[in-house]
Amino acid sequence: MNEQQRNELRAKAGDFKTYSLVLFAFGAFLYFGTIIPGAVETAKKPFALLAVAVCFTASLSCLRQAARYARRLEEEEKRFEP
């Protein structure tokens, strides 16, 4: 693996960590909206909670993908150490 590929892996890992953080914050924002009385109609609350669950699941998925990229990068760097 050359230096350009390692830089791409670093960038992808950082990007997925950022995506994870943004999705988590958005999910938390939506959740806070559901617990505030009168903010969401009772009929729409299940859909809002479903959106929260989707955001948190996507956040965890992005975090796992970032960990995979970081692990691949670490394995490649260990391979070339003397």
Whole-structure pTM value: 0.85
Contact 40, 69 (CB under 8 A): no
Mean pLDDT within 37-63: 94
Distance CA 27, CA 58 (A): 10
DSSP-derived secondary structure letter, 73: H
* Residue 73, pLDDT score: 92
pLDDT at residue 82 above 80?
no
- Kindly indicate the confidence band of residue 45, based on its pLDDT and cuts at 50, 70 and 90: very high
